[in-house]
Structure formats: structure tokens, C-alpha cells
């Protein structure tokens, strides 16, 4: 029978594997450090008892602010073993954002990674009267800090060992007392339409998400998963924390966020989850390298990629791949795809996933064509895991069929509504928001979708983001944006249209790395991002990419005008959420003058912009953003 809490699952694995099997590994100072299930259990046990000795009580909230490391997993399970609730905070949050999460959640402890995160908390501690202690696990740079609110992770473990000497059996009693109906974690929503809300998840929901996922792809205990997704996000909770406890698979933590791809290649990971932006980034990297490679390698790539597409399309259509195409695909694997996957660290991937935001079907089709078994799923903090591709039944335009134990319907307006065992227990401190979203056991997702005749779910856009043009036609901004991001030269885009606008336009962020390489190969000189984005040659490059994408769009939804923005969209400027989704309403308001200029018939708009030169110097310049027609007269 399934253990009803995450700490009980940990105890089961400890009793099953003990010190004989690796549970997790982390790269530190260039060396992989391993921890067995016995180590995992002991760390959780003593940290939990240490927290209790510091005053943690059942029902208390504890926030964790740090990168993906074993200490995050240990801390989460330790808090839950004591009957507490965990709140994850994204590491790139500014101090005022950290204050919101800690204050709103009523957290009494914060477990922080390093000096950078500790400094944020010291800056706001006086505004957090409930905060008792800030516990840090990386002491570098914090050695000389003397604030009494600070204590090290290792010191808490020492306190836990001392506590156990005087209170033997307390940890085991706490674990046994835990119930699947206890709250386990608060996952905050991305806040695209306002302040983030705290979705409350019970242990039952967290475990069910991990177990139902495991039932589809059967991760093995000898397989490697790379923990790269922020644990503050529901997906890492389901796949990394609950998934590893359910399956026994090994979790590996990268040395730094910047070394993820290198570390994936190094350990030969079989299980991987990347958000759409990560897959788009690797796709752009591959396309750019193909452009820069020798003519012979480029010839082989363009010769065999159609073979990969043919096999992928046959599989998606549920047709048998005959011996001729199997033979050609084997040759393509040996000649091109095998080395290509290896160069980006994907050579041993058995199951790869993506979700959290719309992704172009072209991206999924491309990676499957080169032999990466990428699948799309649909879910969220509130509804858990809803759909997932099974086996070879992967259709790039869908999110797969509905998971067992889950029901999905469409409202009269086409909104996706969900019922099932994975549902959250409401929003913390927000009964009105809960009542608005949870009705008669159904969760109203706010997503617009379609269910195919054979049960695959297609998620088209947010209901609130659908736009109507002045001619009455409806269009989906995201539909155009995800296809724009398939281009190696476009990092991000905002498609614009409204009832008072006759056509669709776009604000584009160029990919500075790929466009920069493209420019350098053609000896086009530039100084800054702003300068490069407004070069006539670059504008023409983006124009051709939009023309290509327009051919896939309905006539009324085609982009007529565009502008290359002089800077990238930035989460620190509140233009993106921490999961890299565009805050559409905010961004449209921020760039209202530019949007008005596009529709006024202007050919450019003057802006004053802060810039960073290629040598690191900073400054401010006045420049003109050129407004361009997609179809030249």
C-alpha cells in the first residue's frame, strides 16, 4: 500500500535500500558527492529534530530559498516530518518579493542557500515579526555575520542529534503520526494576472501526482534524474521530490545553474524535464551551430532531418513505420542524430518532458525527429498532473490523453475544467479566489482548449489572453508567439491585437547570441544589444522569419508589422513571471507608446534606454526603434 505522506515514503526507501543504494548526488568543486538512502534519512531526521528544538511546531510554515541542492530536499522532508508546511521561493526574487512570500505564508523559519539569499532576508527581517530564524547551508561569505537570527544548516543538524539523545523516538513518532490529509506544501501561482496565490497541496495530492506519472513511464531505481527545475514549482515537487520517493530513482544536482547541460551529459541522465524556454534555447543553439558548421555536416543534417520528420509523423499518426524508413532512420541516427544529441547532453535520455507554458509543436517534432523522446504534459499547482503523452502516441500539437483518476471537460465557453485526486485544497487566505476557481468539485483552469475525438487535450491559450480584432475575428497571441520562438534568432515575442486594431503586430526580442554570431559571420559590426537589434540586416532577418511563420497562421492572424525591442523582457522588471511567462497586460501597458506608434503608421519611435556594452560598461543612450512592415512594398 502507498505510504500516505512524503516522509513515510522516505522511511520506506530507507528500510528497503539503507546504505546500499545511492539516493542523490551533487557536484561540488568538480567532484560528484553521493548520498545513500540512509544518508538521506539521517539528514532529514536530525534536521527535523533540530528545527523542533528551535521551536518548530506542527502546522508551522517554513520557506526555502535556494538553488537545487540536496539540502532543499532534506529541509522539505524534515519540515513535513515535523508536521510543518513548506513554501518554495524562487532564487531570483528581489527582497520585496521574498518579503511577500514569507509574510503572506506566515513562515516562522526561512532556509536560505547562500550569502546572496541571506542578505535579502537580513534586509527585510525587521518587517517580518513572525520570523524566528534564517538557516543557511552554504557558509561562504556568511562566516563573519553575527546577527542572532542566523544559524547554519550543519548547526541545526547538531542540535537535532542532541535533541534525539534526550528525546529518542520522537522523529519516528512524528512520521508515523503524519496523514495524507495533512498539508505538505504551498505552491505559489505565477502571478500573471495579479499577486501570486498560494495553492495548498496535501501529501495525498503530491504523492498521487508522482505515482500516476511514474505509472506511465516507470522510472527505474537505477535511472538518473537531473534536478534542474526550481523546487518552488509544482513540477519539481511531482517529478523530483515525490517522483524519486515513489520510484527510487537517483536524483542528481548540477554544480551550478550554468553547468546543467554539461552535468546532464556527464552523468548520462535518462529522465529530464525542461520548460519550453529551455527546449527552445537548445533548439536555437542547434540551429545556430548547424548554420556555422562545415558545408558537409550541413549537407548531412539537411539530408537526414526529413527522414527523422517522416518517421516522427508516421508515429504521431499511429501508422506502422515500414522497413525502408526504419533502415533510413537507423542510418540517420548513426550519421547525424547520435552525435547531435550527445553534443547537447541528450544522448541517453529515455523520457523527456515539457510543460508550464505553450510550446511550439515544431519544437517537439524537431526533438523527436532527432531521437529525443520528448513528451508534453498539462497540469498546474491547482490541478496537478492532468494529461501526458503515452508511449509512441505523441502528437506535437496536443498535451496527450487524460490521466487515470482525472476528469476533464470543457465549459460552454471552451474553458478547461478538471476534477480528480490531484486537486489542491484551496488558496491560503483567499476563500473568495478558491470559490471562484473551485465549483462543485471542478477546478476552472482559465485555459482555453479543445479535446480531440480520441481524447487528446489541446491547450490553446489563456481565456483572458484571447483577443478579438476590429473585424470580429478571434486570435490567440500565444499561438503566434510560440511559433516565433522556434526561430533560432527570436528569443521572445509579444503578439498584439485588440478590438480597436485591424491587424496583428509583434514586439520581438532577438536572441543576442545567435543573431550576434550571424552578424559576425557576415562582418556586420555592432556595439550593443540595442544597436544590433536595429541593424537593417537584422530587421530583414527577423522579417523573413515572420514571413515563414505567417504561412502557418490564418490570414486574419498573420503579423503585419513588427518592431525589434531595444532590450530583453526581464523578470526583474516584472515583465516576466519567475517561470518566464510574459505578463501580457503589464507588458502591453509598459510598451503602450510603442504599440500606439506601430498602429499610427509611424516608421520609428525614439526611446532612452540603459545599456550594457560588450566589455561590461554601463550607460544610457537615446535610440530609435524602427517599426517595420512584414511584407515590403
Residue 440 is predicted with a pLDDT of 92
Cα 463 to its chain centre, rounded Å, is 21
| Domain presence at residue 474 | yes
Identify the DSSP state of 126.
G
C-alpha 298: how far from its chain's center? 32
Query: What angle do the packed helices 37-53 and 170-177 form, to 10 degrees?
Result: 100
The DSSP code sequence of 236-253 is HIIIIIIHHHHH--EEEE
Instruction: Name the CA dihedral angle for 355, 356, 361, 367, rounded to a multiple of 10 degrees.
Output: -40
What are the Cα distances from residue 560, in Å, to 478, 496, 505, 508, 553? 16, 11, 6, 13, 12
Same domain, 483 and 458: no
Helices (H), 59-193: 70-81, 95-105, 115-124, 153-166, 170-177
Do 239 and 289 fall into the same domain? no
The C-alpha cell at 568 is: 530583453
- Pairing of β 107-112 and β 22-28: unpaired
Question: CB 510: neighbour CB atoms within 10 A?
Answer: 27
pLDDT at 120: 96
Question: For residue 182, which phi and psi values (nearest 5 degrees)?
Answer: -75, 145
State pLDDT tens for residues 316-375: 888 999 999 999 999 999 999 999 999 888 999 999 999 867 788 888 999 999 999 999
- Kindly state whether residue 108 falls inside one of the protein's structural domains: yes
Residues 266 and 320 in one domain: no
Q: CA-to-CA distance for 307 and 369, rounded, in angstroms?
A: 8
The last residue of one of the domains, among 413, 432, 463, is 463
Q: Look up residue 205 and give its three cell numbers.
A: 495530492
CA separation for the pair 465, 584 (Å, rounded) = 8
What letters, b where the CB count within 10 A reaches 16 and e where it falls short, cover 62-87? bbbbbbbbbbbbbbbbbbbbbbbbbb
State residue 422's pLDDT score: 84
Q: What is the CATH number of the domain that holds 545?
A: 3.30.300.30
Q: Which residue has the cell 523542533?
A: 52
Which residues share a beta bridge with 313? none
* Residues 338 and 269 placed together within one structural domain of the fold: no
Alpha-carbon distances of 37 from 16, 31, 59, rounded to whole Å: 9, 20, 27
The CA distance from 247 to 238, in Å, is: 12
Please check whether residue 1 lies inside any domain of the structure. Answer: no
With DSSP H G I counted as helix, E B as strand and the rest as coil, what are the percentages for the chain, rounded to 5? 40, 25, 35
* CATH code of the domain covering residue 72: 3.40.50.12780
Please report whether residue 104 resides in a domain: yes
Render 210-240 in DSSP notation, one character per residue: HHHHHHHH---TT-EEE--S-TTSHHHIIII
**Domain that includes residue 579, residue range:** 466-629
Q: What pLDDT sits at residue 331?
A: 96
Q: What pLDDT, on the 0 to 100 scale, is given for residue 572? A: 75
Asked if residues 245 and 13 have their Cβ atoms less than 8 Å apart, the reply is: yes
Cα–Cα distance measured from residue 419 to residue 442, given in angstroms and rounded to the nearest whole number: 5
In a domain, 224, yes or no: yes
Same domain, yes or no: 459 and 582: no
Q: Could you tell me if 116 and 33 lie in one domain?
A: yes
Return the pLDDT at 1: 41
Distance of CA 470 to CAs 475, 493, 498, 560, 562, Å?
Answer: 11, 22, 7, 15, 19
When divided into structural domains, the chain yields a total of 3
Asked if residue 22 belongs to a domain, the reply is yes
User: Which segments of the chain have a pLDDT < 50?
Assistant: 1-2
257 and 333 inside one domain: no
Report the distance separating Cα 558 and Cα 495, nearest Å.
Answer: 10
Residues 473 and 456 in one domain: no
Tens-digit pLDDT profile for residues 182-232? 999 999 987 655 688 999 999 999 998 899 999 999 999 999 999 988 999
64 located within any domain: yes
Amino acid at each position: 500500500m502507498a505510504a500516505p505522506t512524503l516522509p513515510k515514503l522516505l522511511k520506506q526507501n530507507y528500510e528497503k535500500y539503507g546504505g546500499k543504494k545511492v539516493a542523490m548526488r551533487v557536484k561540488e568543486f568538480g567532484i560528484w558527492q553521493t548520498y545513500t538512502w540512509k544518508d538521506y534519512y539521517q539528514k532529514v531526521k536530525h534536521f527535523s529534530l533540530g528545527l523542533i528544538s528551535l521551536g518548530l511546531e506542527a502546522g508551522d510554515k517554513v520557506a526555502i530559498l535556494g538553488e537545487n541542492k540536496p539540502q532543499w530536499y532534506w529541509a522539505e522532508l524534515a519540515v513535513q516530518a515535523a508536521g510543518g508546511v513548506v513554501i518554495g521561493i524562487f532564487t531570483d526574487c528581489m527582497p520585496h518579493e521574498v518579503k511577500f512570500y514569507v509574510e503572506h505564508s506566515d513562515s516562522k523559519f526561512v532556509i536560505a542557500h547562500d550569502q546572496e539569499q541571506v542578505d535579502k532576508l537580513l534586509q527585510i527581517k525587521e518587517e517580518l515579526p513572525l520570523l524566528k530564524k534564517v538557516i543557511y547551508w552554504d557558509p561562504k561569505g556568511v562566516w563573519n555575520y553575527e546577527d542572532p537570527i542566523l544559524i547554519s544548516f550543519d548547526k541545526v543538524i547538531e542540535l537535532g542529534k542532541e535533541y534525539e539523545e534526550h528525546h529518542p523516538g520522537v522523529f519516528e513518532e512524528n512520521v508515523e503520526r503524519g496523514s495524507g490529509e495533512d498539508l505538505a506544501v504551498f505552491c505559489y501561482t505565477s502571478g500573471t494576472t495579479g499577486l501570486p496565490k498560494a495553492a495548498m497541496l496535501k501529501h495525498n495530492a503530491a504523492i498521487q501526482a508522482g505515482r500516476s506519472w511514474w505509472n506511465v513511464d516507470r522510472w527505474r531505481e537505477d535511472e538518473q534524474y537531473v534536478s534542474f527545475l526550481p523546487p518552488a514549482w509544482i513540477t519539481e515537487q511531482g517529478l523530483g521530490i515525490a517522483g524519486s520517493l515513489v520510484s527510487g530513482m537517483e536524483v542528481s544536482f548540477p554544480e551550478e545553474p550554468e553547468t546543467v547541460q554539461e552535468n546532464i551529459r556527464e552523468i548520462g541522465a535518462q529522465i529530464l524535464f525542461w520548460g519550453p524556454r529551455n527546449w527552445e534555447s537548445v533548439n536555437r543553439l542547434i540551429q545556430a551551430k548547424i548554420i556555422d558548421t562545415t558545408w558537409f555536416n550541413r549537407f548531412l543534417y539537411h539530408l537526414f532531418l526529413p527522414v527523422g520528420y517522416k518517421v516522427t509523423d508516421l508515429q504521431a499518426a499511429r501508422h506502422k513505420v515500414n522497413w525502408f524508413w526504419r533502415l533510413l532512420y537507423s542510418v540517420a541516427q548513426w550519421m547525424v542524430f547520435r552525435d547531435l544529441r550527445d553534443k547537447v547532453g541528450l544522448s541517453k535520455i529515455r523520457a523527456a518532458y515539457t510543460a508550464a507554458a505553450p510550446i511550439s509543436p515544431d519544437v517537439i517534432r524537431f526533438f523527436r525527429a532527432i531521437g529525443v523522446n520528448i513528451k508534453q504534459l498539462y497540469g498546474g499547482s491547482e490541478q496537478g498532473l492532468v494529461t501526458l503523452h503515452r508511449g509512441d502516441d505523441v502528437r506535437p500539437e496536443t498535451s496527450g490523453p487524460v490521466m487515470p483518476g482525472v476528469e476533464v471537460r470543457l465549459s460552454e465557453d471552451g474553458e478547461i475544467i478538471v476534477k480528480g485526486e490531484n486537486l489542491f485544497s484551496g488558496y491560503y487566505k483567499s476563500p473568495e479566489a478558491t470559490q471562484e476557481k473551485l465549483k462543485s468539485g471542478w477546478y476552472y483552469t482559465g485555459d482555453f482548449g479543445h479535446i480531440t475525438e480520441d481524447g487528446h487535450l489541446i491547450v490553446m491559450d489563456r481565456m483572458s489572453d484571447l483577443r478579438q480584432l476590429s473585424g470580429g475575428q478571434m486570435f490567440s497571441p500565444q499561438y503566434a508567439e510560440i511559433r516565433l520562438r522556434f526561430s533560432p534568432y527570436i528569443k521572445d515575442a509579444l503578439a498584439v491585437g485588440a478590438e480597436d486594431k485591424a491587424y496583428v503586430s509583434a514586439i520581438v526580442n532577438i536572441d543576442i547570441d545567435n543573431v550576434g554570431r550571424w552578424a559576425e559571420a557576415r562582418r556586420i559590426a555592432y556595439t550593443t544589444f540595442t544597436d544590433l537589434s536595429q541593424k537593417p540586416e537584422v530587421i530583414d532577418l527577423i522579417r523573413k522569419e515572420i514571413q515563414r511563420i505567417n504561412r502557418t497562421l490564418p490570414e486574419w492572424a498573420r503579423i503585419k508589422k513588427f518592431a525589434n525591442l531595444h532590450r530583453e523582457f526581464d523578470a526583474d522588471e516584472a515583465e516576466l513571471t519567475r517561470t518566464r511567462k510574459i505578463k501580457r497586460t503589464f507588458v502591453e501597458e509598459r510598451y503602450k507608446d510603442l504599440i500606439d506608434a506601430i498602429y499610427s503608421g509611424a516608421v520609428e519611435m525614439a526611446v532612452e534606454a540603459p545599456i550594457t556594452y560588450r566589455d561590461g560598461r554601463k550607460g544610457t543612450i537615446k535610440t530609435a526603434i524602427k517599426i517595420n512592415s512584414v511584407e515590403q512594398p
